[in-house]
Structure 1
Amino acid sequence: MDGICTLANDRVYDQVIALLNSIEIILGKETPVCIYPYDNNTEKIAAEIAHRPQVQLYNDTISMERWDSFAKAAWDTHPTAREQWQKAGSPGYHRFGTHRRYCAFDGPFDRFIYMDADTLLMGPVADIFTKLNDNDCIVYDFQHKDITHVYNEASEQLTQVFSEERIKTEIFCSGFYASKKDLFDERKRQELIEYLKMGEAEILYPMAPDQTLINYMMMRSGYSIYNLALNLSPDQKTGCCVTSPHFESRDNLLYDKGNRLTYIHYIGMSSQIFKELCEGKNITFPYRDIFLYYRYYYETEKLPKFTTKPQSYNPKPNLTQRIVKKLGLNK
């Protein structure tokens, strides 16, 4: 069985509702969806999906504990992760819970597309599933233009572990990818931990723990990664991120130079922004109306009525730098 999955808790409630609605609208209400819980804070989500029989909240505690243990074991091998996390204000494991997306490799779907909660589906995905017949992982992004949010570029080991060609063509954003069940059994997981223990851990980028790990897992295992952004012709491929200002909106879908997007990723935007927006704060950001359309598709009467002056969304300085950097990723 094929399906769509995401990672969430109640902090991203509004984004999850918008994502679920976009999946139903684009693919149909029968499309199966699995939500992997970031933590135990999922009461609102559980109540919402009670009337969505095609959506399940993953409850396999053995699977979740297995991946919790794997993530801890992986990061315990890193020489500087703890120090970097403490400087960033994370006394324990940084963003612990993001790795729960890996439960999809145990989960209910034989083949799946993982989508971050801050994404919206914009187009059909049949071709992506078809390409899984010949590949282990299908991605569609431009992260390969910036490896610094995937691997430690300063590590001398990086090009010893992976060739420059593989680095240029195989790394991907962990916000959207398609793959298959059972790629990482106990033997494979332990093998990866042993590689990390032998010193390869230093190539991991600690501040994006789930992204660097899934890239390492896929690449170190030798699984085939097919990036549509590198394989589609220039007149076919599209961008995917909110940081691209040129997308055209038609009938609540986004187009890039005439081509319909597969998904839009509101990357770098805090969940608090979406929460405040849905509470009626007049915050503006790119493609806001698209988000509101899908968030309130079944509850148009609850669509926020803004009575105050628009306030532009202004990220924190360090986030601004990151988003500006990503502007070059979506041409």
Structure 2
Amino acid sequence: MARGIYIVANEKVSENAIALLNSIRYYDPDISVYLIPFNDNYQNLAATLNRLHNVQIFPDLDFLNQFTQKIAEIFERDFLALPNKMRKLVAWFGPLDEFLYIDTDIIVFEKIAKILDYLSEYGFICNDYHHAGRGLQDIFSPLVREEKIFTEAQLSDVFNSGFWASKKGTITLERMYELLRECSQHREYFDFSSQVTDQPILNYIVLNSIPKRFNLVKIPGGGPGSWAGSKHFQQKDIVLYDGEKKLQYLHWAGIPMKPGAPYRGLWEYYRYLNEPKPTETSTVEPKKITFWQRIINKTKSLF
């Protein structure tokens, strides 16, 4: 049985992808990792990740392109903010029998693929507090609850789409296209107000087609958080703790990955784990010269 991890990336997120893979390989040098190209601009990143960490390209690029074209046919052009984010859905039809999908704005703090062990009992695994924090925001509109499109039990299982696991064959391609067409016909079901793309659609697909789901934070006593917007995490060595509980991963969902971002120093540690960190250069803007200062300077130049 083939197990492993999928990521979606291109050159634009190269720095994040390298940081993520550095953290994955720090704790697990052997797990298979596949890159699903976000678009055609991925070759340099693919070569780098292959050289550093033996990351393979998703093997059926023809199917990936066919799937992307199908998305374009099913959804109106203004329905999805970034349609290529839907490419992560091909994880159900790739080479891995059991797989973990991870967004590139994440770093991990353990042998993260061990959560695949839960797939012996469940068809879908997630690991976040979206249901308890933002609730249906960035997923479903209030109409879904009002019209009882899903039960309250199902709505308590909504999740962030940046970290999840499932099994090949849990959803057939025919069923996938059927559910995507349903989504395209009911724009009113979804909350796209924050420019999310795949998250509402993925939740609709999973809640409709995989009855045995498990959110790891719902264990007795609760699991640790994972969102970088949480300010209370404490760093010990090169990991973070939520109280006494070690985080499994940290996700900068909705937070720009740039200097000054929360826990930036920890991200930099993993990004430059295998190479020297570049020296930061100070960019000091020149002072603006007023009109009268220009007159004075010109007068001085005459004498």
Question: In which range does the TM-score fall when normalised by the shorter chain?
Answer: 0.7 to 0.9
TM-superposed CA distance for 1:183, in Å, is 2.4
Equivalent residues in 2 for 1:286-297, closer than 5 Å: 286-297=262-273
Q: Partner amino acid for 1:287?
A: Y
Q: Which residue of 2 aligns with 1:104?
A: 91
TM-superposed CA distance for 1:259, in Å, is 1.3
Q: Percent identity?
A: 28
Distance 1:105 1:201, change over 3 A: same
In the alignment, the residues of structure 1 paired with residue 253 and residue 20 of structure 2 have an alpha-carbon distance, to the nearest angstrom, of 14
In the alignment, the residues of structure 2 paired with residue 17 and residue 256 of structure 1 have an alpha-carbon distance, to the nearest angstrom, of 25
Question: Does structure 2 retain, via aligned residues, the 8 Å contact 1:74–1:196?
Answer: no
Distance 1:122 1:202, change over 3 A: same
Q: Partner amino acid for 2:213?
A: I
What TM-score comes out, normalization by structure 2 length?
A: 0.84
TM-superposed CA distance for 1:309, in Å, is 8.9
Q: Which residue of 2 aligns with 1:22?
A: 23
- Aligned to 1:94, which of 75, 78, 81? 81
Question: Does structure 2 retain, via aligned residues, the 8 Å contact 1:70–1:189?
Answer: no
Q: Could you say what secondary structure the match of 1:48 adopts?
A: helix
Cα-to-partner distance string for 1:268-327 (whole Å, 9 max, x where unaligned): 1335x3xxxxxxxxx22221111111111110x2x13335499xxxxxxxxxxxxxxxxx
TM-superposed CA distance for 1:109, in Å, is 1.1
| RMSD, aligned CA | 2.3
Q: Partner amino acid for 1:143?
A: H
In the alignment, the residues of structure 1 paired with residue 144 and residue 32 of structure 2 have an alpha-carbon distance, to the nearest angstrom, of 44
TM-superposed CA distance for 1:160, in Å, is 2.4
Equivalent residues in 2 for 1:41-56, closer than 5 Å: 41-52=41-52, 54-56=54-56
Q: Which residue of 1 aligns with 2:31?
A: 31
Q: Partner amino acid for 1:22?
A: S
- Aligned to 2:229, which of 226, 239, 243? 243
Moved over 6 A (4+): none
Distance 1:53 1:143, change over 3 A: closer
Question: Does structure 1 retain, via aligned residues, the 8 Å contact 2:9–2:104?
Answer: yes
TM-superposed CA distance for 1:96, in Å, is 1.8
TM-superposed CA distance for 1:69, in Å, is 3.7
TM-superposed CA distance for 1:133, in Å, is 0.7
Cα-to-partner distance string for 1:158-214 (whole Å, 9 max, x where unaligned): 64220122102x1100010011112232321243245446x5443123432211111
Q: Which residue of 2 aligns with 1:318?
A: none
Cα-to-partner distance string for 1:144-171 (whole Å, 9 max, x where unaligned): 1321101122x25764220122102x11
Cα-to-partner distance string for 1:2-44 (whole Å, 9 max, x where unaligned): 11111100000000000011000011x2221011111011132
Which structure 2 segments of 5+ residues have no match? 285-303
Equivalent residues in 2 for 1:1-331, closer than 5 Å: 1-27=2-28, 29-52=29-52, 54-76=54-76, 82=78, 93-125=80-112, 127-145=114-132, 146=134, 147-153=136-142, 155=143, 159-168=147-156, 170-193=157-180, 195-196=182-183, 200-206=186-192, 207-234=195-222, 237-270=223-256, 273=258, 283-299=259-275, 301=276, 303-308=277-282
In the alignment, the residues of structure 1 paired with residue 227 and residue 126 of structure 2 have an alpha-carbon distance, to the nearest angstrom, of 14
Q: Which residue of 1 aligns with 2:293?
A: none
Structure of higher CA gyration radius: 2
Q: Partner amino acid for 1:32?
A: S
Which structure 1 segments of 5+ residues have no match? 86-92, 274-282, 311-331
What TM-score comes out, normalization by structure 1 length?
A: 0.77
In the alignment, the residues of structure 2 paired with residue 10 and residue 304 of structure 1 have an alpha-carbon distance, to the nearest angstrom, of 19
Distance 1:156 1:178, change over 3 A: closer
In the alignment, the residues of structure 2 paired with residue 23 and residue 122 of structure 1 have an alpha-carbon distance, to the nearest angstrom, of 8
TM-superposed CA distance for 1:103, in Å, is 1.5
Q: Could you say what secondary structure the match of 2:83 adopts?
A: coil
Question: Does structure 2 retain, via aligned residues, the 8 Å contact 1:151–1:212?
Answer: yes
Aligned residues: 279
In the alignment, the residues of structure 2 paired with residue 188 and residue 134 of structure 1 have an alpha-carbon distance, to the nearest angstrom, of 22
Deviates more, 1:60-69 or 1:248-257: 60-69
Distance 1:294 1:72, change over 3 A: same
Q: Which residue of 2 aligns with 1:322?
A: none
In the alignment, the residues of structure 2 paired with residue 73 and residue 220 of structure 1 have an alpha-carbon distance, to the nearest angstrom, of 22
